[in-house]
Structure 1
Amino acid sequence: MQTSHPFTLHVPQTDLDDLFQRLDNTRWPHQLPIDDWSRGVPGSYLKKLTTYWRHSFDWRKQEAKLNCFPQFISQINGQDIHFIHVRSAVPDAQPLLLCHGYPGSVVDFMQVIEPLVNPAESVPAFHVVAISLPGLGLSPVVTQPGWNLMRTTHAVAALMKQLGYERYGVQAGDAGAGIASLLGVLYPDCIIGIHLNGPEPFPEPTAEELAILERADDLSPTEQVRLERMQTFTREGRGYQAIQSTRPHTIGYGLHDSPVMQLAWIVEKYKEWTDPQKALPEDAIDIDQLLTNVSLYWFMGNGAGAATFIYENMYPAPPTASADWSAGGDGDGSWATGESEAKVIPMGVAVFAADNTIRRLVDRDGSIAHWSEFDTGGHFAAMEVPDLFVADVRTFFTSIR
């Protein structure tokens, strides 16, 4: 049986000094006099944000905030995985797994863990486990090929079992939503319910489906906007995905060697995927929380790791990686086989202003009972609108208790 050991985040001062030196020595390119975001992150904006990162951002303060949460490392199938585990004092608290996506980390949940664990009112509380996906955020770099969503799902299930949680709820978005869905398929007896924010349709809609949707006369104005954004993303927004899913090593050198490249690579997503009513990323997300996430990717060297994670999910795992699981995730042959009798798992969805989620594409069979729509927030809901996020998670899990 694998065990966990406590973890305290401490970045060596030499690493901080190295970051400062690299930021000071940034080689800025000459650019056309175009100061909007149509060609990527504008140079004038990135220089200002880099200056703030270098001279105003207090890493030690943010490091201390993270260390207020009990953190642990567990080695599962040869890979060290970081997680936050906070138990509630409320007697009937429910276990809840929080699973971030890309380009996120457990930093996404810094504002929501405490209100979920210790609610101000007499409402349901949760024992929270926030996991760092292998090779992202605070989990150490991945040392073996094959760590895709399937393998990560098995590792997550092993971790929750190791912590003594036989049944638990899951909240997730982005890549985390894929893990949540796989948990429901592979470990249905363990999952109380799944709450997703801003899920994309799966399977991806065909060109025929989209053409029919374009001609539909019952689309609401909001759905029309989302459809247009979805089409724009298909045309213009998948460049990061195409590069990382085909040549992760090539892009990885830049992400690992240049903090400004890492900053630009992530902050572009904060601009494109946050509340469209906000002009700049720091208008939607606290600038220090934003830079804490970027800093984690930099200090842990996980920019390249994130690219590899995306690559792994585009191609089948090599046979050696699949065979590693045959003995069971915790060494006792206890993996679920996926052959369990079909079981309906309650699902809730929260859609925020920047999301492209259209219900008829996501809820094709009408089985999603809890569906909330908000006119603010976006892809990073736990960071952008933590109060709305917590309230909706709580409402959903209260409804299925």
Structure 2
Amino acid sequence: MLPGIDIKFSNGNIGTVVSTADGVFGLLTSAVAVVDTFDLETPYIVKGMTDVAKLGIKPDVDNYRLYKWLSEFYAEAGEGQELWLMGFPKTDKVSDWFTPDVATGKTPSEALLDASNGRLSGCFTCFSPDGAYVLTVANGMDADVAAAKTLAQTLAENYTNNQYAPFFTILEGYGYTGVGTDLPNLLEESNNRVGVLIGATEKQTGTVPFMGASTSVLAGRLASLQVMENPGKVKRGALKPLQAFIVDDAVEVVDVETLHDKGYITFRTHVRKAGYYFTDSRLATAENDDYHYIERRRGIDKAFRLAHNIVSNEILNDFDLTNEGKIDPIYAKDIEGNLEREIFTQMTSRGELSRDKTNPDDLGVQAAFNLDANVAVTNRIEMVVKVRPKGYARWIEILLGYDVELNN
């Protein structure tokens, strides 16, 4: 095993029932190649619709869905936002994008992840198969969604462990039938790096039939937010689309609570507020998972990257040992301080982690070496890093009534 770092995610601690480009995402999409400008299974970077035009991606029959995804993403995120994309043949299923090659062991999606050199913190899918695709409905949606979900989780876990580049994936609830009770309960799963979106900016049976979901809008909203912000945050304002549907019905008349209660992300409205919002940011895992929500996932992943940046400098470094063969406390304290300062600077000071303002020494992060480990024997140094998350006003209770003695 090569000298390196093993960073594991501690879980179950919250008790819930150099700067990183936090909003750089990847798009995995069905597409048709454009001669001389856009090849399939090839990574591309775009930063706006001008770059999209240079690739020859147009709202025509071949790449209508891809063009619409990109236009909705930039409407929400704003021009200039970096986005990596890769197109796959329309004969592929989404699960194919996450299936390892028998010979190489690598998935098609990894080409995009590798090309970005670890910059991608999230991936989104846009499935637009050719006319030969046969939709197989199982548990209320395309059966391939379940297969892709499991494979995407495995890829994310493996890539995080091997490349130190954590990311999450949002899939479309493709082919959703509109019967929420048929859907599997994602809260009974353990895929805390995968989420499923249901709902779109157009009807399934519109002028151009659409069986997918508008992951473009979710990606655009997340790209415009800091890592600790929920995409459904009302203070950020309504989403850009003026229409939102689930199957063929306007979101206003759909029972979105059932979808939410089963762990899906979808659209909603708020009384006396114009426009559409996201219900929440759930991933396909239990509610008591520390990383059940996208913002918790993004926050811990950013801390992971920062910790790796600092501690990787110490690989194969030499240091003094105590008489018992343990790590020198002064050396340990130096690294702890470097790591804490980095995470404080890049996250806490930006409001992405909580800080106890009653304690001037609180940084929102704590790093501590195991000073009892016999490093002389094991050549392994151990440390624990803890960060304090933000709180979220998911449920607000107000007791309202009359009282003539307001000053008492």
Whether TM-score is above 0.5 comes out as no
Q: Which has the higher contact order (CA 8 A, sep 6+)?
A: 1
- TM-score calculated relative to the size of structure 2: 0.24
Higher helix share: 1
